[in-house]
Chain A
Amino acid sequence: MTAFADSPLEDQIAQWRSYLRRRQAIHGSDIEELEGHLREQLSALTEAGLASDEAFLVAVKRMGSVDALSGEFARAHSERLWKQLVIGSAASDESASAKTTNTETFVVIGLAIAAACAIKSPALFGVPLKGHEPFYARNFSLFVFPLLTIYFVWKRGWNLVHSLWLALPFAAAAVFANIFPFRPSSDTEVLTALHLPIVLWLTVGFAYVRGRWFAEDGRMNFVRFSGELVIYYVLIALGGGVLTGFTIMMFHSIGMNAALFTHDWLIPCGAMGAVIIGSWLVEAKQSVIENMAPVLTRLFTPLFTILLLAFLGTMAWTRNIIKVEREVLIGFDLLLVLVVGLVLYAASARDPQAPPDFFDRLQLLLVISALSVDGVALASIAARISEFGLTPNRVAALGENLILLVNLAWTAWLYTSFFRGRESFAVLERWQIAYLPVYSIWAALVVVLFPPLFGYI
């Protein structure tokens, strides 16, 4: 879309868009269509000599009131108001192109089956899951993420030739995951298994945004998608757990042991297929739980803030210090990841135009208390790091801690300037989004450099 050089006008358009977005009956692609119309009307009006703010008023007036519009959309798409969960009818008007729901269902099921086959295929070549767990741990993302990428390439109608370069990161990942002579139960191998998915998720992201990484909204949508996928995946996993339990219980009652089937087939195949199915559900039913991640954020931001403040208070009161044990750094890393996640999802659901409110102050408090807790932890670890020596785990954890610390420190600074009215919230959002590749780059460094650097221990 053509952007207008005039930034107040862009702001006004963004605000209008966010009004529309709140209407359940009007979906994302409809908004895009309406926005295209608005922009054409605007350029026609400004060409005719109207000032940009006059043109905006006229164009919005001609578009009709948002209420009436959403009423008409609701009548044209009555099923939308039911937040339908019936597979089949929902995605039809969502599909940006002429792809029908049926084709999509077949493609998705095909890809899910392909993912299930992929995870079982090494067994054909004498590498069964049992006894080769490290191999599977290192490679599991390679079994499913390429298929997920194919899904998005297809779904976004991306030119196949242009998207071929996406195969490169996967090929490189396959090489680096399997080329190194890891010692048995080595730390660097575990690090590879943990970090490879983070690297490859960025590739999935490129497919998701159709290669236009820097386009407006694309990356934020990918962040939203990732959050919703996690929620869907957990739900599907819960269902899968129940299914597994019943399978074992029922066959046990007739004297059969189904555990072999569930552990060799149901769980691995289901875990892989669920990634594809979950992604499809997020894509197709965006409106159903569109607001789930932000809702969880709102719920847990105050609770975590209380936890952190209580922790700091207790530590100051009792003068107990953090007992530095082997894995304590990883625990604090996870804490920072969680706080970054809370900030990210709060930002994803926020209207960038709105003035600071109570929740923003709470966010800042959360960030600052997390920074303080982490500062205390780092100080006690730094004092004893020489004692422990530099193992790959500790270097990785330390690096991640620094990356998250930088992110949160700058976030806290941006929040403060935002409260003082010096910066808009959009700057904060942009910072979070611009930071995303940093995680993947660090993860790539861990995968590629750490094993040789630490002698594959």
Chain B
Amino acid sequence: MDLGKDLVAASATPLVLAILAEGDSYGYAIIKRVTELSSGHLQWTDGMLYPVLHRLERQGYVAAKWSSSENGRKRKYYRITKQGRAHLDAQRKQWQVVDGTLRGIWMKACTA
């Protein structure tokens, strides 16, 4: 199933923030986690994650830091900030409203 472009774009921010809320991470691992969580339905173009991350960094929702990984590679690690957690909470509430509304109307359609 292919998701619409706009929906993918809209869900990117809460998804990235939620993954970072689980623990600090870096680009490649975030992509892997998204694929895993959506059982492969949510396919991002890998490169597109980075502009999203940089935008979040600029908005102050995440903080980034270069450090070297276990095999000596230099990696940019991202960490969610306090502000980011607050934003994630707000996003969650908004998505719950959308989700609840859609669920309501579809339940009605099913039962009707």
> Least Cβ distance of A55 to chain B in Å?
14
Do B65 and A62 touch (CB < 8 A)?
Answer: no
Tell me whether A41 and B46 are in contact in the complex, defined as CB-CB below 8 angstroms, given that A76-B55, A93-B58 are known contacts.
yes
Contact code string A406-443 (vs B, CB < 8 Å = 1, else 0): 00000000000000000000000000000000000000
Judged by a CB distance under 8 angstroms, whether B23 is at the interface is no
Asked if A124 lies at the interface with its beta carbon under 8 angstroms from chain B, I say no
Q: Is the CB of A72 within 8 A of B65?
A: no
- The yes or no answer to B39 lying at the interface (CB within 8 A) is no
Shortest Cβ gap from B96 to chain A (Å) = 27
Instruction: Choose the segment among A28-36, A106-114, A172-180 that binds chain B (4+ C-beta atoms closer than 8 Å).
Output: A28-36
Minimum Cβ distance to chain B for residue A45 (Å): 12
A98 beta carbon closer than 8 Å to chain B? yes
Name which of A63-71, A222-230, A310-318 contacts chain B.
A63-71
A103 at the interface (CB under 8 A from B): no
- Is residue B97 contacting chain A, with contact meaning CB distance below 8 A? no
Judged by a CB distance under 8 angstroms, whether A77 is at the interface is yes
Is the beta-carbon distance between A64 and B58 smaller than 8 angstroms? no
Structural contact, A33 and B50, CB atoms closer than 8 A: yes
B-chain residues with CB within 8 Å of residue A41 when the two chains form the complex: 28, 46
State whether A69 and B73 are in contact (beta carbons under 8 Å apart), knowing that A33-B27, A97-B65, A97-B66 are contacts in the complex: no
Chain B interface bracket (under 10, 10 to 19, 20 to 34, 35 or more): 20 to 34
Given contacts A40-B28, A41-B28, A76-B52, contact A63 B76 (CB under 8 A): no
Q: Could you tell me the distance in whole angstroms from the C-beta of A27 to the nearest C-beta in chain B? A: 10
Number of A-B contacts (CB under 8 A): 76
A2, A75, A96: the one within 8 Å of B51 (CB): A75
| A92 and B64 alpha carbons, distance in the complex (Å) | 11
| Chain A binding surface, main DSSP class | helix
Inter-chain contacts of A37 with B (CB < 8 A) = 27-28, 31, 46-47, 50
Q: Quick check: A77 and B27 within 8 Å, CB to CB?
A: no
Across the interface, which residues of A come within 8 angstroms of B111, CB to CB?
A: none
Name the interface residues of B59-94: CB closer than 8 Å to any CB of A. Answer: 63-66, 71-76
The residue that B46 contacts in the complex, of A64, A73, A75, A77, with Cβ under 8 A, is A64
Q: Are A32 and B74 in contact (CB under 8 A)?
A: yes
Q: Which B residues are CB-close (under 8 A) to A157?
A: 66
Which residues in window 78-121 of A have CB below 8 A to B? 92-93, 96-98
Closest-CB distance, B93 to chain A (whole angstroms): 25
Asked if B48 is an interface residue, CB under 8 A from chain A, the answer is: yes
A41: shortest Cβ distance to chain B, in Å? 7
Contact of A93 among B28, B48, B54, B63 (CB under 8 A): B54
- Knowing that A41-B46, A77-B51 are A-B contacts, what are 11 other residue pairs whose CB atoms are under 8 Å apart, sorted by A's residue number? A29-B66, A30-B50, A32-B74, A37-B27, A41-B28, A72-B48, A72-B51, A73-B51, A76-B54, A97-B65, A97-B66
What are 17 A-B pairs at a CB distance below 8 A? A33-B27, A33-B50, A33-B76, A36-B75, A37-B46, A40-B73, A41-B46, A62-B46, A63-B45, A64-B47, A76-B54, A76-B55, A93-B58, A97-B65, A97-B66, A98-B63, A157-B66
Chain B interface residues (CB < 8 Å from chain A): 26-28, 31, 45-48, 50-52, 54-55, 57-58, 63-66, 71-76
A residues bordering B, Cβ < 8 Å? 1-2, 29-30, 32-34, 36-37, 39-41, 62-64, 68-69, 72-73, 75-77, 92-93, 96-98, 157
